[in-house]
Structure 1
Amino acid sequence: MRILLKKYPVLLGSLLLTACAGRPVSDSPVGEWHLKPECLYYSGYDKGTEIVSVQQRTLRAVLSNYKTGEADILDLSQPERLNRIRRLNLELKKGEELTSVAFHPTLDAFAAVIDAGESRGRLEIRDAGNGRLLDHVQVGYGPDAVVFSEDGSVLLVANEGEDFSFDKTDGEFFSADGSISIIRLNEKGRIKANANIEMADVSHREGFIIAEKGHYLEREIDWDGDGKISKQTDFDGNGKIDNKRVKLGHFEGAAVYGNEKKGEAKILIPITADSKTLLEPEYIALSPDAKRAYVTLQETNEVAEVDVENGKVLGYFNMGIAEHEADRKYDGWIDFNQSVMALREPDGIALTPDGRYFLTADEGDTDTDALDDEEPLQSGGRTMSVFDAKTGDFIADTGNQLDEITFTHGVYPDRRSNKKGAEPEGVVSFEMDGQPWAVVGMERADALVLISLSNPKQPKVVALGKIPGDETRAPEGLAHFKRGGEHYLLSANEMNGTVACFKIVRDKFTLEH
């Protein structure tokens, strides 16, 4: 049952919502589900723990530290106390970044993808016991995610290609195209085939939506060529830093602007319907038989369908618009009775265990060139959505349930009301008690949310687990595993260098009666 909320006062910029947020978790009625925090693993770094991947067979996980270029191998056999087995230094070169990792399903090996800046990135296969490089191959520009097939014979890499450059000679902004790499491995985990496939060039894609006021990507770009990103820039050269928009050049025929107060850190790249360059693969869901893959294209509000067998991007499913009630104003009041229409712009993606549906975490990524509430079409659905994997047809979404449950538990970020709410970022799906389930990471609420998919046409939010600690956690990578018939979740929290472990539990009284 959805919560009907009335207006409650809160202090600006605070989390003093708990007093008016309804019943705390410990007072929940008999039979309810809970995400129970089991432990918190500290990497020893203040940030950087971004992606975590589990090998169910051995109850181990590999964790990426993007700030240091290291991978931690964790022991999950005692979920109440995660232990680091070893830390492996991947010895990255200057300017390189470890962006994602994935544990091989059966071998003592893991995959790591390295972003090499202006050069093409690479995939590395590493020994999980000693970190030794077993094999490697060049992939596309800006690799950002990697996944294994269930049998470990296929690897997919999403090459985002999101970095932009500026050519002062002709005043043009440009970026490498995004792509998808399909790598095939032999039984020993060595690379036997590699294909880097381009995105399908489909002009005037069906259902593509452009906001009335225009949507833009905020990108860090070295506009003046001095080798660094300035947070304030005198774009017009008048000797003053003003809070004004200045035209900086063009991208594919459209004007590019910057604000001197935001400098090179937030240059606005316009979204256009025909831009192949803006197709930036983000996250990947691979079908159980490894014949199809689904890749989020957050910036253009699409999901690419990939024929893995034949190495081809077949086309794009448009994610459409989420419409529901929400709190859209940062004014010290939490009031879920305002209408929101938003491009979903999904980040994370997962397939249900039977491969019938794909699920998207609709975070949002673009910005509008409009004042608050002036542009009716917002960025970010604030939802988890369900789509038919065969047709791409929209089935249902969670409406405002995600923001509502974060409010109920006192972690709703009012400061984000006029932006993207609590921001669902990652999603995982699994089977429990013979039914499909999902867990979504809420980046701005520092929490995980459990969702029942027993009726995919009506996804139901049933529990929230708050990541321990008071500082910003920002859950990024999620992973599910089982131990002794119990279900657990891992959350890699990039902003405070931790991994949280949650156990999914249900009140015993209901189970016994």
Structure 2
Amino acid sequence: MKKLSISLLAAFFIMASCNNDENSNNEPEVTVSENPATFKEIGSITIGGEAAAEISAYCEKTKRLFTVNNSGVNQIDVIDITDPTKPMKIGKIDLSTYEGAANSVSAFDGKLAVALESTTNKQANGKVAVFNTSDYSLIKQVTVGALPDMVTFSPDGKYIITANEGEPNTDYSQDPNGTISIIETSTYTVTTLDFASFASQAAALAKDGFRISKFAKSFAQDIEPEYITISDDSKTAWVTLQENNGVAKVDLTSKTITAIYPLGLKDYNTAENAIDISDSDDKIAFNPWKVKGLFMPDAISHFSANNVPYFVTANEGDAREYTAYTDVKRMKSLKLDATVFPDATNMKLDANYGRLNLVADMGDTDGDGDLDEMVSFGARSFSIWNGNTGKIVYDSKNDLDKKSNELGLYDDKRSDDKGSEPEAVYVAKMGTQNILFVGLERSDAFLTYDVTNPNSPQYLQTVKTGDAPEGLLFIPASKSPTKRSLLVVSSEGDGTVKIYQPDLK
């Protein structure tokens, strides 16, 4: 859900290169041998305050970053990284004349696509504006669905895809369908897809953990697409439906949504999933709790292993908070089933479950008005899923929170909410390895894992970032200005763009 708060805004992490999709990893083999466990900061630039550095894209032709800046302005800042140790702001693209505010950017072959939500009516259709990366001139504007929250080029450059979140207004008098728009770059013809055809499957999807709000006017209106990743052959897209706890699969050739994958729930009442659920217990302690979590992913990336496609999700979690309807409540304000929870009074203490934010309209499994189970937002992890079946292959359990805490980066003030809050994920090819980067909004860090074996990822490194990283952008050595791999982290909390590089082996 798009919020201009340190919810990394929600984050997420968007990655792009001028000659490739921001979530593709079919780059030419890197000729330099690098150690993916040794990323270090080599350059930094501050372009404003909060919301100044949300998402960045990279153009190989111009050696420039294009970074969304919503810190009291409405523009794309242009940063020269010919020398990545000395990034320099050299210009801007003023968006004030386009009646839209930027949420996302992507670049391909000298073109920059910008996703713009309407500034006159957020529930109206948005647009994609395409600019030339050399002189910033406008190439084309096209209309897409309401609130385009993410935009990306396909790896072959034939398509621009947007995830159109379609959020309601505060009183729910307007609630547009959530949609996915597919733009053919040869003609700029737009096909916008909604989810109405899946309404008949609502009950079956719900049994497997897919969530439709009880306040929703219709199935299609309640769907909220968030983030996109596209297969290396540009034929398949996977799109997170964050608030709905699902992922949609899209056939780009036929321009159809072929499946919705419900993501189910995570059980925190196990030793390996142990978490801290209180911000008022004066300690950081990871314990099993009788709580479940909806995965509710924000960012998504993909890779292949042994000819099997996989997608990876950042399981951030997100609530709906509107004047007419809010789906988040503190546990202590809710009624518990006395049989299931005989110790309810003690459980409601702030040092126990009392402060934990729960999904207010879930958990009453027998319909008698009290909670039979507790369901929270997010899974505090990253997960790897089979791209053909949507079945889970691996979950990082409580590793993100524990690794953050080991380095003194875990923010206990977020224990009652979503912990370290994984916002972004990106899988990059480095030599023969598939390397996963995971951005943590509340711990202000990214973690790296070797996911070459998707069943058994290996932790490599934790690296400090700016405040509330929103976008991760991997630049492969083959496209880098220095012919060395670079990771660019855009942090909206403090408006910094930082550049990281690994050591040579």
Match of 2:380 in 1: 382
* CA 125–353 in structure 1, closer or farther in 2 if over 3 Å, else same: farther
Q: 1:322 to 1:38 in 2, by over 3 A?
A: farther
Instruction: Tell whether 2:29 aligns with 1:33.
Output: no
Paired position in structure 1 for 2:286: 336
| C-alpha deviation, 1:321, in angstroms | 2.0
Which residues of 2 match residues 386-405 of structure 1 at below 5 A?
386-405=384-403
2:263 is matched with 319
Does the 8 Å CA contact 1:359/1:384 hold for their aligned counterparts?
yes
Code of the residue aligned with 2:416 in structure 1: it is N
CA distance 1:93–1:290, shift in 2 (3 Å): closer
Q: CA deviation at 1:173?
A: 4.4
Hey, what does 1:243 align to over in structure 2?
none
Do the aligned residues in 1 keep the contact of 2:123 with 2:175 (CA within 8 Å)?
Answer: no
Whether the 8 Å CA contact 2:151–2:163 is kept in 1: the answer is yes
Asked whether the 8 Å contact 1:142–1:163 carries over to 2, the reply is: no
Cα distance in 1 between the residues matched to 2:157 and 2:459: 32
Q: Residue 363 of structure 1 corresponds to which residue in structure 2?
A: 316
2: distance between equivalents of 1:363 and 1:176?
A: 24
Counterpart check, 1:195 vs 2:191 = yes
Alpha-carbon distance change, 40 to 427 in structure 1, aligned in 2, over 3 angstroms: same
Deviation at 1:210, TM superposition (A): 9.3
Taking the TM superposition and a 5 Å limit, the aligned residue runs for 1:229-244 are: none
Q: How far does residue 441 in structure 1 lie from its aligned partner after superposition?
A: 0.9
Runs of 4+, deviation exceeding 4 Å: 214-217
Q: Deviations over 1:71-124 (max 9, x none)?
A: 122223322222223212123456x311111111x2x22011110123211111
For residues 370-416 of structure 1, the C-alpha deviation after alignment (integer angstroms, 9 at most, x for no partner) is: 51537532211011100011111110011111111111111101011
- Following superposition, the deviation at residue 420 of structure 1 comes to 0.6
Aligned mate of 1:290, from 223, 234, 242: 234
Relative to structure 1, the CA distance from residue 419 to residue 46 in structure 2 (aligned partners, 3 Å threshold; closer, same or farther) is closer
Write the distance in 2 (CA, Å) between the matches of 1:215 and 1:350: 22
Structure with higher RCO (Cα < 8 A, 6+ apart): 2
Between Structure 1 and Structure 2, the one with more strand by share is 1
What RMSD over aligned residues (CA atoms) do the two structures have, in Å? Answer: 2.5
1:185 alignment counterpart: 185
Segments of structure 2 that go 5 or more residues without pairing to the other structure are 1-34, 268-272, 320-326, 333-352, 355-372
AA of the residue aligned to 2:276: D
CA distance in 2, matches of 1:57, 1:384: 33
Q: Is the 8 A contact 1:37 1:500 kept in 2?
A: yes
Matches for 1:6-155 after TM superposition, within 5 Å: 33-56=37-60, 58-67=62-71, 68-92=73-97, 96-104=100-108, 106=109, 108-116=110-118, 117-155=122-160
> Equivalent residue of 1:299, what SS?
helix
- Is the contact made by 1:173 and 1:251 (CA closer than 8 Å) also made in structure 2? no
Distance change >3 Å, CA 88–CA 204, structure 1 → 2: closer
Q: Does the aligned pair in 1 maintain the 2:178–2:224 contact within 8 Å?
A: yes
SS at match of 2:92: strand
Structure 1 counterpart of 2:469? 475
Q: CA deviation at 1:450?
A: 0.8
TM-score (norm 2): 0.75
On the 8 A contact 1:110/1:125 being kept in 2, the answer is yes
What secondary structure does 2:403 align onto? helix
Counterparts of 1:505 and 1:418, CA distance in 2: 38
Are the equivalent residues in 2 in contact too, given 1:344–1:362 (CA < 8 A)? yes
Question: What corresponds to 1:26 in structure 2?
Answer: none
Distance 1:87 1:386 in 2: 37
- Structure 1 regions of 5+ residues with no counterpart? 1-30, 167-171, 218-249, 254-273
| Mapping for residues 242-261 of structure 1, pairs under 5 Å | 251-252=215-216
- Is the Cα–Cα contact under 8 Å of residues 46 and 496 in structure 1 kept in the other structure? yes
Between 476-485 and 433-442, report the one with greater CA deviation.
476-485
Distance 1:209 1:446, change over 3 A: farther
Q: Give the whole-Å Cα distance in 2 for the aligned partners of 1:429 and 1:297.
A: 20
Percent identity, aligned pairs only, is 29
The answer to whether 1:301 aligns with 2:245 is yes
